[in-house]
Amino acid sequence: MALEITDASFEEVVLKSDKPVLVDFWAAWCEPCRMVSPIVDEISGEYAGKAVVGKVDVDANQEFAAKYGVRNIPTVLIFKNGEVVDKQVGAAPKKTYTDKIDANL
């Protein structure tokens, strides 16, 4: 399962990570988000120890969604060394996400 990231934990979990971080910005009412969620959970298991994989519920945690200009969900951001290095807006196949992580390992 992917980590649940909140506004309170975002800096520690994402920005200070020494590994690449995939962050899925989602909401419970969003149908495409529900399609992406199991993919993100799978990736979390496959990349354990190599990358951090987490989810931010934008309804409950708006600070970092706003900071990074997340206007459409799902939006997946890839962070490396505290900086956004890649982005995917809208649902995509699993390979799209894993290629983005692999490019930053």
> Which sequence positions are flagged as catalytic?
30, 33
Side by side, which strands form the sheet with 75-80? 3-4, 52-57, 21-26, 75-80, 83-89
* C-beta of residue 22 within 8 angstroms of C-beta of residue 100: yes
Q: Which residue has the tokens 């520690």?
A: 12
Distance CA 35, CA 64 (A): 22
Sign, CA dihedral 36-42-43-49, equals positive
